[in-house]
Amino acid sequence: MITWMQRHKKWLVITIWISTIAFVGAGFVGWGSYEYGKQGGAVAVVGDREVSVEEYQQEYSNLYDQYSRMFGSMFNNELAEQLKLKDVAYRQVLQKNLIMAYGDSLGLDVTDEEVARELIKYQAFAKDGKFDKETYIKVLAQNKMTPKDFEASLKRNLLLQKVQTLFQVNPTSNEIENISKLLFLEDDITIKILSINDINVELKDDELKKYWEENKNSYMSEVSYDLQIKEIPLINSNSSEDDIKSHYEKFKIDYKHEDGKIKSLEEAREQIIKDLDEKFTKTEALKIYLKLKKDEEKFEINQTFTESALPYSSENSTKIQELKETEIVKPFFENNKYYIVKLVKKNPSTVLAYENALSQVKIDFEKVLKTKKLEETANTSLKDFKGEEISGITRESVTKISGLEQQEAAKFLNQLFSATTKEGIIKLDNKVVLYRINNSKMGDYNKTKDDVVKETIIQLQEEELMLNLLKRLENTFAIQSSIQEKE
C-alpha cells in the first residue's frame, strides 16, 4: 500500500482552498520529532502573517484524519512518517498562508459576524437544535482547542473561500459537450501482452558479484539492540471487598458489555481484581525502576534483538529504539507483565557480506535482467506484431482487457488515451503491452455525464490557476521558516 500511496500522494492531499476542520471526536495526532513544546510560538512567517504551531498542528491533524478515513486501519503513524506527511502539511500550510496574504493585499477581510454565522452551522455545538455556548466550549476542550484558536481557524478558512470566489470558473454547455466527447473517446485496438514471467535469463556468478559490488549499500544488516531486561509478573494486590467496590463505583463506566450496557459489580469483579493487581504491580515496578537507575538492583536478562524482532508492541518498541545508550525506559505493561528495559548498545546497520546477501542479490539481479530482456523483446516485436483485436475501447473498459488485472487495465487505458502515437509500448509493473490503434472516434455525447465532466474541467482549470498563482506569490511574499524539511 505504501508504494501506491507514495505514487499518488499529490492526489490524496486535501485541496489547498478550504481546510475542513475535522477535529470533532478525533483529537490531535502525536508529533514525534516535530514537537515544539506547549502552545505558542510560530513555525514560519509568510508576508505579515505568522504561522502558529497550533495552525500547523491542525493542518497535520486534518491531513492525517483524511488519510485515516480513506485507508482505515491500514493507515498509521509509521506510514505517515514514510509519506512525510508532516512535510506535506507544512508545505500546505505555507501555501494557504501565501493565498491569505494575497487576500490581505486585496483588502479582503472576515468579520466577527461572518465567523458567528459559520459557527452555528456545526451540529457538534448544538443543543436542542440550536447553537449552545456551553456545549461549544466543552467540545473544543475535549479536542484540546480553545474558542480563540478555533475561531481563528474558521476565519482563515473563510478568507480562503473569499479568495476562491475570485478564481471560480463556470464551463459553458458547449465546452462541457465538446470535452465530454474527448474524454469518452472510443478506440479499436490490437494488443499483445508480454509478461516478465515468460522471460528466461541465466545468472552468472561473476555478474552477480559485480552487481552486488555496484549496489552493496542496498544490502544492509538490520539495526540491532543489546538490551538488559527486568520482568515483573503481575502481583496479587490482595484487594479487599471495599477496594473492589470503591474501584467499581469510580470506574464502572469502563466495564461494559458488548452492547454498551454497564456490567454489574459481580460481572465486572474478575476484571476489576486484575486491574487492581496491575495498578499495584505498576507501583512496585516503579520502585524497582528507581533502584535499577541507581544500580541498587540488577537486570536479569541480557538479550539482543534486531529492529524487526523486538518482541514488544509498536509503541513500546519505538520507545526502546529512541533510547540513548545506557538509558532505561519506564515500566510498560504487556502480556500480564511489567517490563523495564535498558539499552546497552545500538548496533548500526552495516553492509552484508556477499555470501549473506546472495539470496536477495539473485532475486534483484534476475529481475533487472528479465526487465531489460522484456523491453528488448517488446521493441523488436512492435513493428509487425499480431495480437488480440478489441473494438470500442473507452477509458472505462477495464473488464475488456483479458490478460490484465483490473488495476493493470486501468493503468493501461489511462496511458493509452494519453498516448500521442498510433502504436507503441506501455509498461506495467511486470508486463509490457504492445498496442496499435486501428480506429478512433469521438464518443457519443451523454448528458448524464455532464456533472462529472464539469467537475473535471473545473478541477483542471482551478489547479492550473492555483499553480500559477502560487508561483507568483512565492516571488511576492517573503517566507521565513523555522522548520527544515526532511529529505
Place of cell 510560538: 41
pLDDT digits 0-9 by tens, 149-166: 889 889 998 998 888 888
Q: Quote the pLDDT of residue 441.
A: 76
Q: What is the 3-state secondary structure (H, E, C) of 53-112?
A: HHHHHHHHHHHHHHHHHHHHHHCCHHHHHHCCHHHHHHHHHHHHHHHHHHHHHCCCCCCH
d(CA 408, CA 391): 19
Residues in the chain, pLDDT under 50: 1-39
Residues 6 or more apart whose Cβ sits within 8 Å of residue 383: none
Domains annotated for the chain, with CATH where assigned, are 2-168+467-481 (1.10.4030), 185-216+353-441 (no CATH), 224-347 (3.10.50)
Grid cell locating 300: 536479569
HSE, CB side, 13 Å, CA atoms: give it for residue 56: 26
Rounded to two decimals, the pTM is 0.49
Pairing relationship of beta strands 337-347 and 328-334 according to DSSP bridges: antiparallel
